[in-house]
Amino acid sequence: MENYTPEEEKEDKFTIEKDSPEEGFIQGYESEDEVEECAECGAAINPEKKVKKSFDGEDYQFCCESCAKEYAESMS
């Protein structure tokens, strides 16, 4: 049996994967710029990966293509 400490659990529990929506949220939260949110999931939008779509004459912004697709499917 390996030696296990509660500190290891805490570190693992709060690890945020690179390029995850949570990482984008944290980056936006840490900066003082206004954070744009995904119209589908509400995550902060990484400006470099932003997806823009129009539905019924209104423009929407998404954090990724899959959120844009899910939103489009929910509109039909």
Please state the pTM of the whole predicted model.
Answer: 0.56
Any domain includes 51: yes
CA gap 57, 49 in Å, rounded: 22
Domain span at 47:
16-75
Tell me the CATH number at 53: 2.30.170
Cβ neighbour number for residue 72 with a 10 Å cutoff: 14
pLDDT digits (tens, 9 = 90+) for 54-74: 999 999 999 999 999 999 999
Any domain includes 63: yes
How long, in residues, is the chain?
76
Rounded alpha-carbon distances, angstroms, from residue 62 to 5, 6, 11, 20, 24 = 40, 37, 30, 13, 12
3-class DSSP state of 58: strand
Any domain includes 6: no
Number of domains observed in the structure of the chain: 1
pLDDT digits (tens, 9 = 90+) for 15-46: 555 555 555 555 555 555 688 999 999 999 99
46 φ, ψ to 5°? -75, 120
